[in-house]
Structure 1
Amino acid sequence: MQTPNLKTNDTNQYDAIVIGTGISGGIAAMELCRKGLKTLVLERGRHIAHGDYPTASLDTWDFENQGKIPKDVIEEDYHVLKRKGHLVNEAEVHHFVKDSEHPYTEEKRFDWIRGYQTGGRSLVWGRQCYEWSDLDFEANAKEGIAVDWPIRQADIKPWYDYVTKFIGISGRKEGLKHLPDGPFQPPMELNCAEAQFRDRVQEHIPGRTVTEGRVAHVTAYDPALNLGSRGNCQYRDRCRRGCPYGGYYSSNSGPLVVAEETGNMTLVNHAAVREIIYDADTKRATGVRVKMTETNEEVAFFTKGVVFLCASSLNSASILLASKSDAQANGLGNDSDMVGRNIMDHHHYVGASGSFEGLDDKYYKGRKANGFYVPRFVNLGPSSKKDYLRGFGYQGGAQRGDWRNLVKELSVGPGLKKALAAPGGWSMGMTGFGECLPDPDNRVTLNETKLDKDGLPTLSMNASFGANERAMRVDMKHHAAEMLEAAGAKNVSPFEREVFPGYGIHEMGTARMGRDPRTSVLNKHNQVWNCLNLYVTDGSAMTSASCVNPSLTYMALTARAVDHAVGELNRG
């Protein structure tokens, strides 16, 4: 890994610049470097090398206070992160930003969960990976919602397959037109309760599919695939701590390793991008201005090639809005006034749980970092038509209780030991993930009076879920209970919690693709309409949201865009 001379700006010239090292930035860096471009990769946060995961192998008793963080520290530094309460613990919290250092303004509540370090949120993501179908790409056009996607499934399918092979997605082919199959690794098999749930649901509710979750976990390692520093999943289920085995996919264990091996990557950490430099005469991005947060130096890096903006949907919007000039007074690429608008996120935390009798002679081995998935089954045709648009899927899992079920001591000595060793009953929970419609009034704006710890402008959030999402949630709760009851579950309990944008950590849409520069920011190749050597390939680019986890689509769009960019460079 090379280190540039930050004092001499005229030497800071690269063939390509990538902003961000997360899900999209990692793929961009690898693909550009593989194609021979000397590539600068900028990361706002600290460096974490693959394997530098200090809590990965610690047990609960290895932490002071069993990993719990004092309440006053949570209230001071992690008051937003605590909204996702299970993330606030000593084993994982170092992979998330301190909210006190990176504030934002909530005109409406927005739960923004961030991770600034090498790998970004690829160190903490849920790893669920699903392809889109034309049901998703065509929905806006057919329903007259927002703008039409400029691509269809056929345009991106080769790149879905390309990325799927590299990141190693385990899953089962189901032959569903609206959930396309890919070149999967062997699935993480359902446990006995999940398999029983699958069989009974499919028996009693025709047309309803239950399958293994499709997750970016290697289950059949093959060195010929050149997966970076990765091996098989070890079934530890400590993924958000960082995986020293590389079983689950992250930028750190995969594409950044491959990019570094080419000798073409220069990675610079503690580099907060202030703006992208735009040349009005050539209508090109010529570089970026950066605040080096450890030294407070202002540094410029330059390119005669391309810039890939992959800082995450909201941060990329912030950088575009901050990149103002006489020629781009409203922000770079913002002639349409669409930068920062159309924020989408998946709404979830609504579903049901229940218990299962029997299967007391069965257990499972390891801690499987995956469960089952129920693909969308509403609004697929006249027979499943609802009074709302789009649809939802479910993620869930089953497990047996353990010694923690003991509320108080049953006895002492052998009796207590026996009770502690005996597993409890089987239980299952499932939550829906619903699609959110794009709405131009759901937006972020740049707040230049409220600065973060590095002196950069912050964002003001003004977004909410609408009537379509609220109507969908009624069915999301109902059908979860319906399936559990059909499978023979007892004590079925539907649940619903009020959620707000950001809580799903799938924010997208702030610089959407389209067919017309008057109504979109990017063209069909992810190029900014009026700055064609600037590509935006993270969640910003999404024109609609589907109901499936979006990261695989980000990665496929990124690989596709790099192929296009290098082709354009080669053509001069």
Structure 2
Amino acid sequence: MNQEETYDAIVVGTGISGGWAAKELTENGLRTLVLERGRMVEHLKDYPTMNDDPWDYAYKGELSKDEQKKYHVQSRVNWAPKDDNKHFFVNDLEHPYVETKRFDWIRGYQVGGRSLTWGRQSYRWSDIDFGANKKENIGVDWPVRYTDISPWYDKVEEYIGVSGENLGLKQLPDGKYQPAMKLNCVEEVFKKETAEKFDDGRLVTIGRTAHITDPNANFEGRGTCQNRDRCSRGCPFGGYFSSNSSTLPAAERTGNMTLRPNSIVYEIIYDDTTKMATGVKVIDAETHEELEFKANVIFLCASAMASVGILLQSKSERFPNGLGNDSDALGRGIMDHHYKLGASAKVDGFLDKYYKGRQPTGFYIPRFVNLDENTKREGYLRGFGYQGRASRGDWSESIAELSYGKELKQEIIKPGHWTIGVTGFGEFLPYDDNRVTLSPTEKDKWGLPQLAFDVEFKENEYNMREDIKKQIEVMFKAAGFKEISTYDQVTGPGLGIHEMGGARMGHSPKDSIVNKNNQVHLVPNVYVTDGAFMSSSSCVNPSLTYMAFTARAANHAAKEFKAGKFS
């Protein structure tokens, strides 16, 4: 590639945010170079396990002992990597980092990033979320509110396809939805019992998920969800949203995108004369060749922690502590969501009922605490929601019967009893001493400093975790479920795979890194639109918000570029 050419824009990363940046910039006419540190993955062509069956794998799809060593961090989530999707997760031996305190960093280095494996739950933030920091004098105030982002939520939802149900809740704004998926019979009973037994705003709804459900809708080559629940392998139907099936092909269709995989961006080049960025420094992941690419606009979408690392490495005489970091806020305020806690229970009856397919979403219980004086909780701020499903067991329940012969054969073709389970997702406050830095001693295989994580749960988080367990137990009891068991597994931050913060949005460069348009305050032609810009975490899955802010920022950048602000 010609390193002397100056592109209109460079996008770093191809995941949820990078795909949207590429799409919006190229559709606005900007010649855009998209850089991805991982390998090339093309939609359909590079989903090698998309149609495999469970019996195609040894060890029931679990990794061998030798393979487990390669994914010792990634495997902390339990559901991945497996033999059918390990190619979409990083080899931890090849991509180490420093855990000053435990931090579970789950990554996927390939074109599409984690958009190929994300959970696809898609919820809007409300003004309760955007206003919480100011109201409680925590962290920094968001310089935007819901009305600023609402039209961009509309745009994203209509483009990617989100199925769901509008509810009219102040804490969970309604959206532009495809037809909702269905609750099964036990989930419907749980919904009914919750509505009847509680008067504090608790309710059960179907999860809002980025899957196409309308067969008559036109999504440019994407089809409807087939209820296969093989999503983390890559969907050949394009039924769920990913960069590979949606935004990157849209960018490619414009003729304005140049995509270069295996390109590790490690520094943004700053010009002290123009007070602008002029490009990026890159190491070729395969050859280790050092390259530089020039552009008038830089979009940093490498994933939250990686983007923070690039900013920290972007040192110059003007910015000795990292690009735009006069405030020393860079790398601070790292957050995640609670995960690996909740409850399960046995459900009597309904043995004459079953469900069809493997629906990729279950039920959702929106936040119902700390919304007003009537729902205020002592011991912690903010709130949480629940995600779960009810299902029937399988033939393995028959083992306990010690049956054999004809009786065993009859039993193993029957589905087991119904059970129900939920996981709580709670908000994590933005603490300045929860931070990521560059290790002064540890390097990766390309000679770049490893990230060092010093992040932990604090009293507010631990108190919330206790109430997450308590409240779902109360709800299960009210619904008449049996053998209720709560759980709270030992984890570190990061395991929710919603890591965010480190280059927070705010009003001033004195205490934040980016402004209301996602521009670095002190270097306005650099935009940060992945999870790094988050100033608080809400309790809902964040990817929809990343996409909405990215689309908004890319259109702002295009206008500024065309007005000559960055040349």
TM more than 0.5: yes
1:115 has 2:115 as partner: no
What letter is aligned with 1:515? H
- How many Å separate the matches in 1 of 2:181 and 2:440? 48
2:193 paired residue among 197, 200, 204: 200
Other-structure match for 1:328: 319
1:91 has 2:91 as partner: no
Alignment of 1:87-486 (within 5 A): 87-206=80-199, 207-222=201-216, 224=218, 227-303=219-295, 305-387=296-378, 388-407=380-399, 410-486=402-478
Residue 81 of structure 2 contacts residue 89 of structure 2 at CA under 8 Å; is this kept in 1?
no
Q: Which moved more, 1:164-173 or 1:493-502?
A: 493-502
Per the TM alignment, residue 15 of structure 1 is displaced from its structure 2 partner at its CA by 0.8
What letter is aligned with 1:35? N
- How many Å separate the matches in 2 of 1:441 and 1:88? 31
Other-structure match for 1:533: 525
- How many Å separate the matches in 2 of 1:261 and 1:228? 11
- How many Å separate the matches in 2 of 1:296 and 1:168? 39
Other-structure match for 1:53: 47
What letter is aligned with 1:216? A
Residue 398 of structure 2 contacts residue 408 of structure 2 at CA under 8 Å; is this kept in 1?
no
Per the TM alignment, residue 416 of structure 1 is displaced from its structure 2 partner at its CA by 2.6
Per the TM alignment, residue 64 of structure 1 is displaced from its structure 2 partner at its CA by 3.0
Q: Which moved more, 1:61-70 or 1:167-176?
A: 61-70
Alignment of 1:488-567 (within 5 A): 488-567=480-559
Q: Which moved more, 1:88-97 or 1:133-142?
A: 88-97
Other-structure match for 1:41: 34
Other-structure match for 1:28: 21
What letter is aligned with 1:469? E
- How many Å separate the matches in 2 of 1:213 and 1:277? 43
SS in 2 for 1:481: helix
Per the TM alignment, residue 454 of structure 1 is displaced from its structure 2 partner at its CA by 2.5
- How many Å separate the matches in 1 of 2:468 and 2:57? 38
What letter is aligned with 1:220? D
Per the TM alignment, residue 68 of structure 1 is displaced from its structure 2 partner at its CA by 2.3
- How many Å separate the matches in 2 of 1:454 and 1:95? 21
Residue 228 of structure 1 contacts residue 253 of structure 1 at CA under 8 Å; is this kept in 2?
no
What letter is aligned with 1:71? K
- How many Å separate the matches in 1 of 2:92 and 2:215? 38
RMSD: 1.2
Q: Under a length normalisation based on structure 2, what TM-score does the superposition of the two structures give?
A: 0.97
Residue 431 of structure 1 contacts residue 480 of structure 1 at CA under 8 Å; is this kept in 2?
no
What letter is aligned with 1:215? T
Per the TM alignment, residue 410 of structure 1 is displaced from its structure 2 partner at its CA by 4.9
- How many Å separate the matches in 1 of 2:150 and 2:206? 21
5+ unaligned residues in a row in structure 2: which ranges? none
Residue 168 of structure 1 contacts residue 218 of structure 1 at CA under 8 Å; is this kept in 2?
yes
What letter is aligned with 1:170? S
- How many Å separate the matches in 1 of 2:215 and 2:517? 33
- How many Å separate the matches in 2 of 1:444 and 1:41? 26
- How many Å separate the matches in 2 of 1:247 and 1:73? 30
- How many Å separate the matches in 1 of 2:88 and 2:147? 36
Per the TM alignment, residue 293 of structure 1 is displaced from its structure 2 partner at its CA by 1.3
What letter is aligned with 1:133? S
- How many Å separate the matches in 1 of 2:397 and 2:81? 23
SS in 1 for 2:264: strand
- How many Å separate the matches in 2 of 1:34 and 1:138? 33
Provide, for residues 424-452 of structure 1, a one-character-per-residue CA deviation record: whole Å limited to 9, x for no partner: 11100011111000001000101243122
What letter is aligned with 1:312? S
SS in 1 for 2:78: helix
What letter is aligned with 2:398? L
SS in 1 for 2:399: coil
Provide, for residues 138-170 of structure 1, a one-character-per-residue CA deviation record: whole Å limited to 9, x for no partner: 000000101100000000000011101111110
- How many Å separate the matches in 1 of 2:247 and 2:410? 48
Residue 228 of structure 1 contacts residue 257 of structure 1 at CA under 8 Å; is this kept in 2?
no
What letter is aligned with 1:309? L
Per the TM alignment, residue 413 of structure 1 is displaced from its structure 2 partner at its CA by 4.8
SS in 1 for 2:475: helix
What is the percent sequence identity of the aligned residues? 57
Residue 347 of structure 1 contacts residue 500 of structure 1 at CA under 8 Å; is this kept in 2?
no
5+ unaligned residues in a row in structure 1: which ranges? none
SS in 1 for 2:34: strand
- How many Å separate the matches in 2 of 1:441 and 1:239? 36
Other-structure match for 1:73: 67
Compared with structure 1, are the counterparts of its residues 571 and 88 closer, same or farther at alpha carbon in structure 2 (3 Å cutoff)? closer
Per the TM alignment, residue 287 of structure 1 is displaced from its structure 2 partner at its CA by 0.5
Residue 265 of structure 2 contacts residue 280 of structure 2 at CA under 8 Å; is this kept in 1?
yes
Residue 347 of structure 1 contacts residue 499 of structure 1 at CA under 8 Å; is this kept in 2?
no
Residue 46 of structure 1 contacts residue 118 of structure 1 at CA under 8 Å; is this kept in 2?
yes
4+ aligned runs moved over 6 Å, structure 1 = none
Residue 229 of structure 1 contacts residue 257 of structure 1 at CA under 8 Å; is this kept in 2?
no
Per the TM alignment, residue 404 of structure 1 is displaced from its structure 2 partner at its CA by 2.3
Provide, for residues 82-139 of structure 1, a one-character-per-residue CA deviation record: whole Å limited to 9, x for no partner: 2122213211111000111111111101111110000001111110010000000000
Other-structure match for 1:10: 4
- How many Å separate the matches in 2 of 1:373 and 1:64? 34
Residue 228 of structure 1 contacts residue 255 of structure 1 at CA under 8 Å; is this kept in 2?
no
